Structure 1
Amino acid sequence: MDLGLRGLKAIITGGSKGIGLAIADTLAAEGCDIAICARNPADLEAAAEKLRGRGTTVLARAVDVADAAALKGWVAEVGAEFGGLDIVVANVSALSIGADEESWNKEFQTDMMGTVRLVEAAMPFLEKSGKASIVTISSVSGREIDFAAGPYGVFKAAIIHYTQGLAFQLAGKNIRANSVSPGNTYFAGGVWDQIEKGNPELFAASLALNPTGRMATPQEIANGAVFLASPAASFITGSNLVIDGALTRGVQF
């Protein structure tokens, strides 16, 4: 299937590793120009070099999405340099699961407001696109109560609500909005890699919950996200795509 992505312009937050990098790489392989941000300059440059190997234009900038001015400025610069934006992927998470006020604030500023500000900054470009798509990365923790209940789960649930609201509000402007809720996703240097090394009991218990006997790869999550972002999904908007290998038990209507 031709996803119809060639020549489109995509911006991805948290694009230096894991799910964000897999999404950026898959979009680049489909012919998109790519802009990514992350906080670690070294990781970011390594990711940018990989993406440039796809033969497409790649812009990379060290940006903390919790910094409102920096995020909005970066989006404006990318849109101006690309001459527009078609695809926005909000991927960054603070991964804060503590019960303290600092954890709540980190999740709000990074996950929630990082998503809202990204979308708002990109909106002037998306309105002119004709093939505009917003994809937000939520989590199965936004659907079910698990060990990440608290700030992480709450704001992941809020992102799903926000995204479905966008879908309704922007349908008349031909701008689609969907969310993706990954299950546990394993990659080197990621949170589950760290948990496996630092808390093997939690890792084993979490792994045992998944009937497939394994965790997802970033590429498996990216495949779903890129399809939703693409013109091939032109009548899909307001959906929350769960990619979890049957981890969750709740029925989604």
Structure 2
Amino acid sequence: MDLGLKGRKAILVGASHGIGLATAHALAAEGVDIALCSRSQGSVDAALAALATHGVALVGGAVDVTDAQAHSAWIASAAQRLGGCDIFIPFTSANTGVDDEDGWRAVFDADTLPLMRGVQAALPFLQKSDSGSIVTISSTAAVEEFMGPGAYNALKAATINYTAALAQKFAPDGIRVNCITPGPVEMEGRAWDQIKQGMPDFYDSMLKQIPLGRMGNGEEIAKAIAFVASPVCGYLTGANLVIDGGFTKRVQY
């Protein structure tokens, strides 16, 4: 299927590794020019080197998303260097696992505020696109109780709510806004891979809760993101797409 993405421009925040980098590969394979950032210049350089095989235009930068001015300035600069922005996807996230004020503030500062700031910075460029698309990233921890009270769960639920409100507000501008909500995803060196090595009993207990019998992988999530971001999904906005192998047991209205 041709997703109609060739020649489009995407800005991906926090995408030098994990699902973000997998999404960069999925989009670049479709002919999308990519701008990505992360905290570490070394990880950005490695990501750009890996993406170079796709033959698309690439822009990279080291950015601390908790620095509001630097974050917004990089998005504007990236859009100018790419020649526009059709797709904006923020991947930055944080989970302290600590249910106190400092823990909540850390997640809010590193996850929720950068989401809002990034959207605001990208909007002037998305409004000039004939197929503007924002994709946000939540978690199944947001839709069912998971490992007790915590900022990550609650603020990822806020991401879903914020996405729905953005979709309503900016639909008249032709900008679609949708949320992807992954369940457990296992990627080399990432959280569930580390848990598998260090906490095998807990890892196995999670597997037993997934009807498909396995965790997802980054490529599966990335391809779903690319599809949702693409013009092929031109009538989809305000949606929350749960991709979890049946891990959550609620009815997905």
- For the criterion TM > 0.5, the same-fold answer is yes
SS at structure 1 position matched to 2:118: helix
Q: Deviation string for 1:122-142 (max 9, x for gaps)?
A: 011011111100000101111
Q: Does 1:111 align with 2:100?
A: no
How far did 1:148 drift?
A: 6.2
Equivalent position of 2:242 in the other structure: 242
- Residue number in structure 1 paired with 2:97: 97
Instruction: Quote the offset at 1:17 in angstroms.
Output: 1.1
Aligned to 2:168: 168
- Aligned ranges 1:14-163 → 2 under 5 Å: 14-147=14-147, 149-163=149-163
Q: Partners in 2 of 1:33 and 1:148 — Cα distance?
A: 41
Q: Secondary structure at the match of 1:59?
A: strand
3-state SS, counterpart of residue 94 of structure 1: coil
SS at match of 1:114: helix
Are the equivalent residues in 2 in contact too, given 1:141–1:148 (CA < 8 A)? no
CA distance in 2 between partners of 1:160 and 1:19 (Å): 18
Q: CA deviation at 1:175?
A: 0.3
Deviation digits for residues 84-118 of structure 1 (CA, Å, limit 9, x no counterpart): 11100111111222212222112111211111111
Q: Which residue of 1 aligns with 2:190?
A: 190
Q: CA deviation at 1:189?
A: 1.2
Distance 1:87 1:29 in 2: 15
Across the two proteins, how many residue pairs are aligned to each other? Answer: 253
TM-score, structure 1 normalization: 0.97
* Identity across the alignment (%): 45
Single out whichever of 129-138 and 95-104 deviates more from structure 2: 95-104
Please give the secondary structure, in 2, of the residue aligned with 1:53.
helix
* Residues 31-66 of structure 1: CA deviation (Å, up to 9, x unaligned): 010011111222221111111110001111111212
Residue 133 of structure 1 aligns to which amino acid in structure 2?
S
* Cα contact 1:97–1:149 (8 A) shared by 2: no
Equivalent residues of 2:180, 2:241 under 8 A apart: yes
Q: Gaps spanning 5+ residues in structure 2: where?
A: none
The Cα of 1:204 is off from its aligned counterpart by 1.9
CA–CA distance in structure 2, aligned partners of residues 148 and 13 of structure 1: 29
Distance 1:148 1:42 in 2: 36
Q: Which amino acid aligns with 2:34?
A: I
Are 2:140 and 2:183, in contact at CA under 8 Å, matched by a contact in 1? yes
Runs of 4+ residues deviating >6 angstroms? none
How far apart in 2 are the matches of 1:144 and 1:204? Answer: 20
Partner secondary structure for residue 178 of structure 1: strand
**For the aligned residues, what is the CA RMSD?**
1.1
Provide the C-alpha distance between the structure 2 equivalents of 1:197 and 1:102, rounded to a whole number of angstroms. 29
CA distance in 1, matches of 2:96, 2:176: 29
Aligned equivalents of 2:69 and 2:148: distance in 1?
A: 29
- Measure the CA separation in 1 of the matches of 2:249 and 2:175: 31
Shift in CA distance, 148/57, structure 1 to aligned 2, threshold 3 Å: farther
Contact kept in structure 2, 1:141 and 1:149, CA below 8 Å? no
- Unaligned 5+ segments in structure 1 are none
